[in-house]
Amino acid sequence: MDIYEKYGLKPVINADGKMTILGVSQVSDQVAAAQKQGAQNFFEMAELTVQTGRYLADLIGSEDALIVNSASAGIAQVLAGIIGRGNAYHVTHPYTTQITQREVIMPLGHDVDYGAPVDVMLAVAGAQPVLAGYANRCTAEQLAMQITPQTVAILYIKSHHTVQKSMLTIADALQVAHDHHLPLVLDAAAEGDLRRYLQLGVDVVIYSGAKAISGPASGLVLGRQTYVEWARQQNYGIGRAMKIGKENILGLVAAVEQYLTTGPESGASMKARLAPFIAELQTLPNVQVEMVQDGAGRDIFRASVRIAEAAKICQALRQGRPAIYPREYRVNEGLIEFDIRALTSAEMTQIVERLRTIIEEESTCN
């Protein structure tokens, strides 16, 4: 029986991006096959965790690696590990008052809600957030100013969710961290380059397995051996509440292998696929359509449609069947964006036709 019918769910056309609210991404047959192998066999799980980490570390060029159940779990386990420094008592008593060095500094403009607040992951880790700079600006000096004897790490969030203007770069933050003998932890959840930040010298980099990598629900922690080991120990403490299954561990390994061989869709390919979609969108009445690059500078291109009543139109798109989810971050500016990474050309045509119907209904109502 059709899964949508069975549960009374609406099919979804995802023009939003790698969004958790829609199930993030689709896995390839190769990844699904690895998940099946994982699901239908037993393993010595501690060994599976260590050996898949070692395998991925070699493949990517990291000292070590750890597969966790999400980037969020990665943030929590890594920071808890840095607070506990491998202390066995801390693993099972993560919030012990015996440990008082718990401050993690991040730029105020990075204190975002990516679907859940970064703050919550710090709280789970037992970290005390210390914010640096201002909502619109953070310099290396402002970051350094917040360092105290209680500081254990600096956290940098590389994301379109964060404030982009007047922000120190990753290299700047790294310099501050290393000048003060602190590790720099980078949340690169939705980033696509698995090597770049390690090569820069970042101590720990955290990715979301289902975003750019298009793996199953999972997270990937890369970086220095000590920090990865400390994070791994957390599997016997806070990490148990965020346990990943063997099927998704093996699924993520297959997804990384495939990702490193074929890579994500290039910006050039997206532009080529966007051209006919944009031409179709331009046939709609009273719209201005253009191609825009990702706000965080990733090699991702989208169609941006300026239209009256943008929020209302998005709502109508979502409420139809199938539900069409555009990208709505700029709706308050009257812009609807369409991310085509998960779209077929037939779905693009469906989107244009639905928009035409909605616009016509709007104009007859008025």
Ligand X SMILES: *Cc1c(COP(=O)(O)O)cnc(C)c1O
Tokens 């009445």 label which residue? Answer: 285
Q: Quick check: 20 binds ligand X (CB under 6 A)?
A: yes
Which residue's CB is nearer to ligand X, number 210 or number 358?
Answer: 210
**Which one of the spans 139-147, 155-163, 236-244, 349-357 is the region binding ligand X (CB under 6 A)?**
155-163
In 3D, which of 345, 356, 287 has the Cα closest to residue 320?
Answer: 356
Q: Quick check: 114 binds ligand X (CB under 6 A)?
A: yes
Distance of CA 215 to the CA centre of its chain: 12
DSSP 230-273: HHHHGGGTGGGGGPPPHHHHHHHHHHHHHHHHH-SPPHHHHHHH
**Nearest approach, Cβ of 289 to ligand X (angstroms)?**
27
CA distance 90 to 99: 8
Instruction: Give the pairing of strands 301-306 and 288-293.
Output: antiparallel
In 3D, which of 236, 264, 246, 258 has the Cα closest to residue 69?
Answer: 246
Number of residues that bind ligand X (CB under 6 A): 13
CA distance 276 to 305: 14
**Nearest approach, Cβ of 306 to ligand X (angstroms)?**
26
Q: In the window 160-219, what residues touch ligand X (CB under 6 A)?
A: 161, 187, 189-190, 208, 219
CA distance 313 to 307: 9
**Which one of the spans 64-72, 169-177, 310-318, 352-360 is the region binding ligand X (CB under 6 A)?**
64-72
Residue window 66-95: x/- pattern of binding to ligand X, with contact defined by CB under 6 A? ----xxx-----------------------
**Nearest approach, Cβ of 212 to ligand X (angstroms)?**
10
**Nearest approach, Cβ of 357 to ligand X (angstroms)?**
33
Do the beta carbons of residue 325 and residue 313 sit within 8 Å? Answer: no
Which residue's CB is nearer to ligand X, number 49 or number 72?
Answer: 72
**Nearest approach, Cβ of 161 to ligand X (angstroms)?**
5
Amino acid letter for position 279: A
**Nearest approach, Cβ of 321 to ligand X (angstroms)?**
27
Which residue's CB is nearer to ligand X, number 90 or number 158?
Answer: 158
Do the beta carbons of residue 264 and residue 192 sit within 8 Å? Answer: yes
**Nearest approach, Cβ of 262 to ligand X (angstroms)?**
22
Q: Quick check: 238 binds ligand X (CB under 6 A)?
A: no
Which residues contact ligand X by CB under 6 A? Answer: 20, 70-72, 114, 157, 159, 161, 187, 189-190, 208, 219
